[in-house]
Structure 1
């Protein structure tokens, strides 16, 4: 078996508003959308700087629901950018809520976490240091020994 691509496919309770948010917050551009006569978006594709993210409105009749309808999400999307501070600020100005302020992390990245208005969680970061896996493990172990309840 050969895998050629992997796409995030988001379900939201208002795809039209979500497309506008992702444009304003992250600079995404719309590739195309398929819209039902009722206005519900069955499928849309957005370009996030060369990476495609797909999304649709909720389809409860097909058991396709967004994170708010489910009471949360088990998935986080990691957006690797040039300037995490600026992108987090831009996302907040566009309507996201801050879950974790931007800070330097043990794994060599500066990043923060926001939740978009549709319930999806975004880790936003940029590289500040190349860290070997062994060193990353050492730092992680040390951090967990000092503060075992610390969110990663």
Structure 2
């Protein structure tokens, strides 16, 4: 078996607003959307570049497909590498996201922080600040836990 791509798929309470939020915040483009006559979005795809696609739709509770907001959030976080984590997180908060963790340098060689978007999904945004081997990461992690 060959795996060619992995697509995150979000269920949101207002897909049209989420598409607008994500496109503006991340400067991505909408590939397409499939809309029911009542306006509910059954499927949409956003092009994040470099082959990365985010799929999303409105919730379909009649099929057991609830939004993150409806069920009180999601245990899944989306991690996005960007050129400048601080700038993206600042833009997100200005656009209505809730800051969870301000950007900071981490032992694993990344500067990152996180926010919850208005649709109940957590985003971790980071950029690389140093190349760290898995062995060095483990050493630093063990030292951090011992402190």
Aligned length: 146
Structure 2 counterpart of 1:104: 105
Provide runs of 4+ in structure 1 moved above 6 Å: none
Q: Which residue of 2 aligns with 1:135?
A: 136
Q: CA deviation at 1:96?
A: 0.7
Q: 2:39 matched to which residue of 1? A: 39
For the aligned residue pairs, the C-alpha RMSD in angstroms reads 0.8
**CA displacement at 1:24 relative to structure 2:** 1.7
CA contact (8 A) 1:81 1:126 kept: yes
* Structure 2 residue matching 1:137: 3-state secondary structure: helix
Residues 49-82 of structure 1, C-alpha deviations (whole Å, 9 max, x = no match): 2311000000000000111111121100000000
TM-score between the two structures when normalised by the length of structure 2: 0.97
Q: Which moved more, 1:33-42 or 1:64-73?
A: 64-73
List gaps (5 residues or longer) in structure 2. Answer: none
Q: Normalising by the residue count of structure 1, what TM-score does the alignment of the two structures yield?
A: 0.94
Moved more, 66-75 or 32-41: 66-75
Gaps of 5+ in 1: 147-152
After superposition, where does 1:2-151 map in structure 2 within 5 Å?
2-50=2-50, 51-146=52-147
